[in-house]
Amino acid sequence: MNRYETLKDYFFTHIEEQCHGIYKQKALLHSIQVSTLCQKLALEHHLDVELAGIIGLFHDYIQFTQHSSFQHGLRCSEWISSILSEFQDDEKAIIQQAIARHSEKDKVDDAYSEILKDADVLAQYFAETDIVLSDEGQKRLKKYLPEKI
């Protein structure tokens, strides 16, 4: 089993155990959608698809499992190192940095952080097309759906 599949199994098991009802549904749908969008964007930008998928899958994990959005990106980036034993230090740094920065939609960061930010905004829009996005979110969405803004 590859690393992504192993971590995906971990994700599903723990979301199943720690989330309930509509919160579980949101955790699963949003995380899978962001993961898939990250993989697509990684292909387009010639980035590592496996790392992008993991980043997308786990970017809100702590928010869902601890039921708090307070600094969830930073908290998740610190926590995730505990399950990345199969990864090289540079890969861990990419994953942790992207997750830590994903809520800072107004800043431009490294390529992995940027695809996560874009995928997160796209997934939010697809889940709720009448969502009111921040100015930064609207700018990110406009890159992909210019006719919608």
148, part of any domain: no
**Any alpha helices (H) in the chain, and if so which ranges?**
3-18, 21-44, 49-58, 61-66, 72-79, 89-101, 111-127, 135-144
Residue 148 pLDDT grade (very low, low, confident, very high; cuts 50, 70, 90)? low
Question: For 74-117, how does the pLDDT look when each residue is reduced to its tens digit (9 = 90+)?
Answer: 888 899 999 999 999 999 999 999 999 988 888 989 999 999 99
Q: Which CATH number characterizes residue 123's domain?
A: 1.10.3210.10
Q: CA-to-CA distance for 19 and 2, rounded, in angstroms?
A: 26
Q: How many of the other CB atoms lie within 10 Å of CB of 130?
A: 5
pLDDT at 55 over 80: yes
**Ramachandran bin of 86, using left for φ above 0, alpha for ψ from -120 to 50, beta for the remaining angles:** alpha
When divided into structural domains, the chain yields a total of 1
In a domain, 149, yes or no: no
Name the pLDDT band for 143 (thresholds 50, 70, 90). very high
pTM: 0.92
For residue 33, being part of any structural domain is answered with: yes
147 in any annotated domain: no
Domain of 53? 3-141
**Using one digit for the tens of pLDDT, what is the confidence trace for 2-52?**
999 999 999 999 999 999 999 899 999 999 999 999 999 999 999 999 999
Count the Cβ atoms, other than its own, within 10 Å of residue 134.
Answer: 11
Instruction: Please indicate, yes or no, if residue 68 is contained in any of the structural domains.
Output: yes
